[in-house]
Every structure is written in C-alpha cells, then in structure tokens.
Amino acid sequence: MRNYTFRTPSFNLLAESFKNWLRVLGYAQATVIGSPSLLKVFFYYLEERGITGVDQVNGQVMKDYLEFLQKRKNSMSDGGLSINYIISHINALKRFARYLQETQGVILEVPLKVKPEKHPQRVILTHDEIRRLYQVTDNTQQLGYRDRAMLGVYYGLGLRRSEGMALDLKDVLLKKNMVYVRKGKNYRERYVPVCQVVRADLENYILFARNSFFYSPEKRKNPALLISMQGRRITGNTLIVRLQLLAERACIDGPVGLHTLRHSIATHLLSSGMSLDSVSRFLGHRSLESTQIYTHLVNE
C-alpha cells in the first residue's frame, strides 16, 4: 500500500484517529491496519480533486469514487481491481462513516453497493474426516498437543480464524467449561461452551506443552493461548500450514482451512438436532440468516 502524506492536515489526523478508534473497539488486527490504509486512498482521491474536507463529500462524490475504483488498473496483475477488493474499500468507508458519527456527530453517507464475487461452495468435512484429523496428531510431542488444541478451538468451539488467534490464556475458563471470546466479529463478545474432549485437549496443551514454546521465562509473560515455535502469538498462516499437514496425513482431499472446521461443526450440530437458534448463538452470528446456509448443507 502506498504511503500517502496529505497536504491537508485534517486528513492525516483523521486517518490516525480512525485507526486508534478501530483498535480501541477491538477490531481484528487486519481491519485495524487495512481500513485506514484504504481510507488514505480515498483521501488521496479527494485531494487530487480539490476536496479538502469530509464536509464536502456527498453522494455524487461517493459514486464518482466507486467509478474510479472500477476503472482503476490492478498494480499487481493485468486487468482492474477485483470486486471483493472494491467491496473492502466500501466497507472501510462505512466504518469511517460510523467513526465520524460516533466521535464527531458528522453524517457521511456511503450509498455504495456492489455484488460480491461468488465463492466456491463451502467444504464440509465428514465426522470420519474429523476423527482422522485427531488421529494423526502426535500426543508425544509439543506440536501434537498444540495441534489438538487448534482443532479444539476451530472445530470444537467453532471460532473464526481471528477469534482463535486472539484468545488469551485467561480466556480459557476450564473450571466453568467455557471460553470467553473477547474479539469476535464486529467486536461482539460471547462465551462458548466447552465439551469434555475439547476441555481435556486445551488443558493438556496448557499444562504440558505451551511453556515449552518459550525460550526464556521472560517470554512466558506472553498472554496468548496459541504460541508459535518462536514464543510469539501464533499467526493464521502457521495454523493453516499445520492444519493442511494434518489433512495430508489424514488423506483428506481438497482444500482444508480453519473456516472449514467452523463450517463443519455448524453442519454437524444442526444434523445432530441442535436448533438453528442455538447454533447461531454458538457461532456468534448476529442474525439467523447467517446460520441458515448450514440448513441447506444439512439437507444436501
């Protein structure tokens, strides 16, 4: 992303304060970094057209900006920007509009709508494939303990990628058989129940493996639940590499990601007879509409 420096001082201040607002509200790190960067593209567009304040932005300016994005060339490959990348710009502007309204009482209309690109059908693992993933973990090594904890977080608890990465040790409430998700989507918090199998895997990882990933006692102050080999909070890429390695060992064909585990537990819970409302709360969905897709997968 180009490092924009604006002639308009207010644009620099707004971009920085918007970033801090996202961080305080607990948005995912990718959003905290990405949304202000996309906002800076918008500010650069405004300056190039002689617009030096958000109070000068109206619906027509927004529509012109959307047309600009749709015609803009992709610097990384041939052709224009992808539809989903353009949607990321629009979502960043909508977050910025909310920031303005809540912090300054300024109303910024973002009347932009773009249909997202169609994604491939969700991959759902069978019960047998999940069982095989667990079977290929190695309970004699620290990585094996962490692998089972990872499966527990993303299949047993059905967490989103960012939610699992953001879990701290103190969020695992073993005595209450609960996990506290403090950084859910759109900064919504929730408690997720923990079954006995997942509880045992998390407890074994915490007691017998987690501390072995730290090279010094000082680093053990890291609050993260899932720790990398370097003693840092684990990244999504590291988790995906481990999961794909397990999938290969378990002879599972096709792409398998962290969200695959979330989709799978949702489908398995519905097929076992759990109500749509209960599954929706378990997944942390805002509405039942987001959960209903799984009813179609169960029927299929």
Same fold, 9-104 and 127-299: no
Check: pTM over 0.85? Answer yes or no: no
> Would you list the domain boundaries of the chain?
9-104, 127-299
Provide the residue-wise pLDDT of the chain in tens; the chain has 300 residues.
445 567 888 888 999 999 999 988 878 777 888 889 899 999 999 999 999 888 888 888 888 988 888 888 765 555 677 787 888 888 889 999 999 999 988 888 887 666 655 545 557 899 999 999 999 998 888 999 999 999 999 999 999 999 999 999 999 999 999 999 986 665 678 999 999 999 999 999 999 999 888 876 766 788 999 999 888 899 988 999 999 999 999 999 878 999 999 999 999 998 888 888 888 889 888 777 667 766 656 655
Rounded to whole angstroms, the Cα distance separating 102 from 109 reads: 14
DSSP-based three-state secondary structure for 86: helix
- Rounded to the nearest 10 degrees, what angle do helices 29-48 and 83-104 cross at? 90
CATH says 9-104 is which class? mainly alpha
Q: How far is CA 181 from CA 53, 58, 158, 160, 242, in A?
A: 38, 38, 11, 10, 23
Does the structural domain 127-299 have CATH classification 1.10.443.10? yes
Cα dihedral sign for 278, 281, 283, 286? positive
**Element (H or E) spanning 180, and its range?**
strand 178-181
Rounded to whole angstroms, the Cα distance separating 158 from 262 reads: 4
**Element (H or E) spanning 193, and its range?**
strand 190-193
Tell me the catalytic residues: 160, 185, 259, 262, 285, 294
Cα three-residue angle 181-186-189, rounded to 5 degrees: 25
Token representation of residue 268:
């398995």
